Amino acid sequence: MADKQTASVPDRTIARLVICIAAAAGTAGCSGAMSTLDPAGQGAADVARIGWIMMIGTLVFMALMSGLWLHAVYRRDRDPLQWPAGKILVGGGIVLPLVVIVLLLVYGIRSGQSMLPLGATDLQVRATGHQWWWQFEYLDENGPFAETVDELHLPVDARVDIHVQTSDVIHSFWVPSLGGKVDAIPGRTNTLRLQPTRVGTLQGQCAEFCGALHALMRFDVIVHDADDFAAWLVAATEDGGADP
Amino acid sequence: VSEPGIAQREAQEARENRLRALETVYATPPGIGRLAAVNHSVIGLRFIVTSLVFFVIGGLLSMLIRAQLAIPGNPFLDHDTYNQIFTMHGTVMMFLFTIPLIEGLGLYFIPKFLGARDLSFPRLSAFGYWCYLFGGSILLIALFAGVAPDTGWFMYTPLSGATYSPGINADVWLIGITFVEVSAIAFGVELVATVLKVRSGGMSLSRMPLFGWYILITALMMVVGFPPLILGSILLEVERAFAWPFFDTALGGDPLLWQHLFWLFGHPEVYIIFLPAAAVVSMMIPTFARRPIVGYAWIVAAIIATGFISFGLWVHHMFTVGIPHLAMVFFSAASMFVAIPTAIQFFAWLATLWNGRPVRRLPMLYLFGFLFIFVCGGLTGVMLALVPFNWQAHDTHFVVAHLHYVLIGGFVFPLLAAAYYWLPLMTGRAPSESLGKWAFWLIFIGFNLTFLHMHLTGLVGMPRRVYTYPAGLGWEWLNLASSIGGFVLTTGFAAFFLDMIVRCRAGARSERNPWQAGTLEWSLSHPPPTWNFASLPVVQSREPLWDQDGLQDDIDSGRGYLPTVRHGWQETLGVHAVTGRPDQIIVLPGPSYLPLITAALLAVFFVGFLGGLYWLSAVGALAALGAALRWAWQTGLDRDWPELEAGCGIRLPLHAQVQDAPGWWGMAAGLLVNGTFFITLLFGYLYLWVVASAWPPASFISSPIILPGIAAAAVLASALGLHGAVQHNAAGRQPAKGLAVALAAALIAAVMLIAQITAVASPTTHAYAAVTTFLLGYCALHAALTVVLAGFALLRWRKGFISPRRSLDLRVIRLWTGYTAVVTLVALGLVHGLPAVTAVIGAPT
């Protein structure tokens, strides 16, 4: 919330612009249960915004470079233009990319902030990759109190830390419409913060090639509203963590 | 008959006699003798043709991929077949197509651009070709036998380890690719020595065509870029074969060590591929702009900057593995800043076209394709370098699209342009524009139809490397369109190959230099003879054909360097590396079966390992060493020669009698390879020590300090012995005593180092023991090779190959011995010092 209050005016303008483009793109086939461009979580929304900005930038630069080339080769007057080479090289080769890169880094790198496990958290889940299924354990201070397989239940508007690990080879935990992916690496636990922003059923998939049936290592993510999640949690805990 | 007529006829006769003599000396033997060929044009063409065959194979594999993904839930291929196909598509395209094609281009063109008759070490390039062919064949045979690698072309452990990939598939990759990489190393060493030493007189570094600069930096990048991959492959193969747990977390290893080693190679690799493509662009643009390149010095600086920066980016392939955030920001910034040297090159090309008089011929059309597609790939690369975006796009079809934009845009399109550009030179056939234009539009449209919206396929959630996908996620139409585009693209390539074959078979004869280019290769007859230049040009400009009137006639009439054949030698000029002043006559080795025999024996080593027949491997390795020594024996001179006539009124010494011979540079470049290998090994050692979780091990090395002390003293003594031998020889005294000291000391060092290995726990028990054993084994192997080389030098001296003036053998072996001493001292210090330090300050957490 604090983020939104301090957001600067250009930020809001950009955000509005991006929402308009995203809405237009959504109708053009960017939606879907696994789309990074149809965000249902804070991290995915932040990345989608910077993603759209960069895609627009890419198109602008492609148009610029192609235009310059077409002019250089297909211009009507083919006599040498005697343009100052030093200025072209400094301007196009150094100043232009430098300015764009610095702006992009300064503005863009913080888009990942909401996916870092910083500050208080509302729920902790341990996600363990196995060839070729996912095991989700819901943790409190005493360890796991509920468990599901290939189905992850989350409460909406909560900060959830997913502790990703593996029992065999490298996998990668990814729910595109909630946020970025993080690898499950032997001997390590990597933590990813997710914050679902709307109720519904999403899909996730292992993103790192993990052998024969990698393509089938998929899972569902069910985002509940708070009451619903509490009810599910009670049922799942009574279940003793068995596969629902 | 008038007087001028007689003079003319005599000149003509002299010219024909000289050419006939060159013909005799440079002829490749007929029939089975072709296997002995070492000439750079012959070997270069073999590389090019073989790599194109692999390109077709890789392309057919991609068609199978696109067929499978055309519709959701397609039953066409099962997962096992699909996983082999996508792994082999990547492997074939990266290792068996692009890199060998670059090698072919470099080998074929560099002497023609630099005004030389051949490369510095023609037999080495022939050896490289056979290693490539044999290594590539191992992979192909595995593909047809259905046991091809199936864990992705970057072979992440532990999936590629023995537990999860028990079959031979992963071994095929590790062994086949390592065998192929021998050719990349050979190319790197050869081209560093060639570009620096083997040019024509007057070609200073600042007059060198940009292609030379690009290839020099590419070769240096190969020299330091490939060793991490080779080390990683050896470690992984040793883990698979003998259970040394380098990557096994339970026993002190770490799978991320593999990723670091792989991408430490893998990212420079991208620029190793791009720079030669930029090189051909930089050769074509001035020709079609009808003026010299703008910003020559800027481009040289940009190439060098690219070389350096490209080694600081590898972690951007690993943004999702859980690296500290600050480190990611650093690598993110570095990955974006590499755009600057690339932008400098683009604007230098644009400025050349603006300030020139552009001619719109077919190669320029392909260069537009290059610009459009590569710029897009570069920009999506900047997007991927932004960490948060990378977390979403990594390992999706967005990356698949990005890398194809970079590699097809940044490599294939420039090479297609180059094929049309140099076709008249290489085949003597005139260029034609009709079918080539069709091919361009088919390839250009087909490519974008395949890959442009594939960015979107990734962003709407489709991971890469999946053999099937469900309907209902919005992926169906995107994939179907890509598959259709893929077939259009293939049609385009078929049209291109058809055009090339038709041109080569039935094209009209081309005049010389049809594009009116300015660089030396266009002064050759089309196609060029194997000796290239009838006499080597006196270079006074960057574009000699534009600036030096009558140069063509000077070359053909023997008014350049080395116009006449003597003693049946193949000769070319060696120059001062910077100024281009001629400083030696290089006598090139003729055809030989030794490169083929050595490569075949090396194949015995590799295939033996693949089959688990380790005794056969040992036999193959020893026999290959013997063949290499026999090969080395044939170099050099068995008597002193005076300075010889070199044309243009100068006399020069033979290369075996100068300090600055290509052989010395070759050894220096070889040790740069070796040193990078060693430094990477140290990186691995320290990385495991600091990062891996199951440390410290149960026990460190335990030996009385006197034993490593003796080993250290012995390697120092062997280096000093060789140094003494060089000094004695230079002063006209016998080098035998110094060589004997070096030999004996190296023998003691080898024995002591092997004894040190026994003081370490069994390498299968812990990664510490494994990596320590490996490090000590590396030093012991070097000490043992020093014994062999010192013995070799003694024998050479006895047989009269070494004199005060002919000291190259000794100086080359001194380099090796000094290197061995340094690495052994460092390794012993580390192996004994680190446990001592740990005992004092405690193990890192």
Q: Do A51 and B152 touch (CB under 8 A)?
A: no
Q: What's the mean pLDDT in B782-798?
A: 97
- When pLDDT is cut at 50, 70 and 90, the band that residue A3 belongs to is very low
How many residues are recorded in chain B? 845
pLDDT higher than 70, residue B316: yes
Taking only the tens place, the pLDDT of each residue in B355-367 is 999 999 999 999 9
- When pLDDT is cut at 50, 70 and 90, the band that residue B304 belongs to is very high
- When pLDDT is cut at 50, 70 and 90, the band that residue B171 belongs to is very high
- When pLDDT is cut at 50, 70 and 90, the band that residue A238 belongs to is confident
Taking only the tens place, the pLDDT of each residue in B56-94 is 999 999 999 999 999 999 999 999 999 999 999 999 999
For an interface test with A, which of B74, B259, B320, B405 has the most A Cβ atoms less than 10 Å from its Cβ? B320
The predicted pLDDT at position B613 comes to 96
The predicted pLDDT at position B840 comes to 81
The predicted pLDDT at position A184 comes to 98
The partner residue sitting opposite A85, judged by closest CB among B294, B364, B461, is B294
A169 contacts in chain B (CB < 8 Å): 156, 158-159, 164
B255 contacts in chain A (CB < 8 Å): 170, 185-187
Smallest CA–CA separation between A229 and chain B, in Å? 26
The predicted pLDDT at position A2 comes to 37
Candidate from B381-395, B475-489, B695-709, B760-774 with smallest mean pLDDT: B695-709
pLDDT higher than 80, residue B134: yes
Q: Do A73 and B358 touch (CB under 8 A)?
A: yes
Smallest CA–CA separation between B196 and chain A, in Å? 28
Q: Do A211 and B164 touch (CB under 8 A)?
A: yes
Beta strands in A104-178 (DSSP E): 123-130, 133-140, 143-149, 151-155, 160-166, 171-173
- CA-nearest of B600, B623, B624, B604 to B614 is B604
A174 contacts in chain B (CB < 8 Å): 395, 463
| Percent of chain B's residues with pLDDT above 90 | 91
CA distance B514 to B425: 9
The partner residue sitting opposite A32, judged by closest CB among B291, B347, B461, is B461
- When pLDDT is cut at 50, 70 and 90, the band that residue A231 belongs to is very high
Q: Do B348 and A32 touch (CB under 8 A)?
A: no
- CA-nearest of B124, B47, B48 to B592 is B124
B461 contacts in chain A (CB < 8 Å): 32-36, 176-177, 203, 205
CA distance B459 to B358: 40
Residue of A nearest to B156 (CA): A170
The predicted pLDDT at position A22 comes to 61
Taking only the tens place, the pLDDT of each residue in B202-243 is 999 999 999 999 999 999 999 999 999 999 999 999 999 999
DSSP class per residue in B607-659: HHHHTT-HHHHHHHHHHHHHHHHHHHHTSS-SS----EE-STT-EE-BGGGST
Q: Do B461 and A203 touch (CB under 8 A)?
A: yes
DSSP state of B529: P
β-pairing verdict for A190-194 and A160-166: antiparallel
CA distance A183 to A169: 10
Assign residue A154 a region (left: φ > 0; alpha: ψ between -120 and 50; beta: otherwise).
beta
Are B401 and B454 in contact, with CB atoms under 8 Å apart? yes
Q: Six-digit token pair at B716?
A: 């120092």
**Cα angle for residues B365, B370, B375 (degrees, 5° grid):** 135
The predicted pLDDT at position B265 comes to 95
The partner residue sitting opposite B386, judged by closest CB among A92, A104, A174, is A104
Size of interface A-B (CB pairs under 8 A): 270
In this structure, what are the phi and psi dihedrals at residue B651, rounded to the nearest 5 degrees? -115, 140
A190 contacts in chain B (CB < 8 Å): 321-322
Q: How far apart are the first and last CA of chain B?
A: 97
Q: How many CB atoms lie within 10 A of CB B416?
A: 26
The partner residue sitting opposite B320, judged by closest CB among A73, A181, A215, is A181
Residue written as tokens 């053009």?
Answer: A28
CA distance B806 to B729: 9
Q: Six-digit token pair at B630?
A: 């026999």
For B684-742, what is the HEC assignment?
HHHHHHHHCCCCCCCCCCCCCCHHHHHHHHHHHHHHHHHHHHHHHHHCCCCCHHHHHHH
CA distance B169 to B84: 9
Does A78 reach chain B within 8 Å, measured CB to CB?
A: yes
Portion 169-228 of A in contact with B at CB < 8 A = 169-170, 172, 174, 176-177, 179-183, 185-188, 190, 203, 205-216, 218
CA distance B53 to B44: 14
DSSP state of B36: G
pLDDT higher than 50, residue A200: yes
Smallest CA–CA separation between B546 and chain A, in Å? 18
B298 contacts in chain A (CB < 8 Å): 89, 93
Taking only the tens place, the pLDDT of each residue in B12-27 is 888 899 999 999 999 8
The partner residue sitting opposite B391, judged by closest CB among A96, A180, A187, is A180
For B340-399, what is the HEC assignment?
HHHHHHHHHHHHHHHCCCCCCCHHHHHHHHHHHHHHHHHHHHHHHHCHHHHHHHCCEHHH
Q: Do B473 and A74 touch (CB under 8 A)?
A: no
Smallest CA–CA separation between A234 and chain B, in Å? 32
pLDDT higher than 60, residue B115: yes
The partner residue sitting opposite A183, judged by closest CB among B321, B332, B473, is B321
Amino acid occupying residue B362: L
pLDDT higher than 80, residue B324: yes
**Torsion from C-alpha of B652, B657, B659, B663, nearest 10 degrees:** 110
How many residues are recorded in chain A? 244
Taking only the tens place, the pLDDT of each residue in A24-74 is 655 556 888 999 999 999 999 999 999 999 999 999 999 999 999 999 999
B368 contacts in chain A (CB < 8 Å): 66, 69-70, 73
For an interface test with B, which of A65, A82, A98, A202 has the most B Cβ atoms less than 10 Å from its Cβ? A65
- What are A194's strand-pairing partners? A160
CA distance B542 to B286: 11
Q: Which residues of B139-149 are buried (b: 16+ CB within 10 A; e: fewer)?
A: bbebbeeeebb
Smallest CA–CA separation between B77 and chain A, in Å? 13
The pTM assigned to this predicted structure is 0.95
B80 contacts in chain A (CB < 8 Å): 212
Q: What's the mean pLDDT in B518-543?
A: 95
Q: Do B396 and A207 touch (CB under 8 A)?
A: yes
- When pLDDT is cut at 50, 70 and 90, the band that residue A4 belongs to is very low
Residue written as tokens 């939104």?
Answer: A4
Mean residue pLDDT across chain B: 95
Smallest CA–CA separation between A212 and chain B, in Å? 6
The predicted pLDDT at position B326 comes to 84
In this structure, what are the phi and psi dihedrals at residue B627, rounded to the nearest 5 degrees? -65, -35
A46 contacts in chain B (CB < 8 Å): 388
Q: Do A54 and B355 touch (CB under 8 A)?
A: no
The partner residue sitting opposite A68, judged by closest CB among B325, B348, B350, is B350
pLDDT higher than 70, residue B198: yes
Helices (H), chain A: 2-6, 9-25, 42-74, 85-88, 96-108, 226-238
Q: Do A36 and B372 touch (CB under 8 A)?
A: no
The partner residue sitting opposite B159, judged by closest CB among A31, A66, A169, is A169
For an interface test with A, which of B361, B460, B467, B469 has the most A Cβ atoms less than 10 Å from its Cβ? B460
Are A80 and B356 in contact, with CB atoms under 8 Å apart? yes
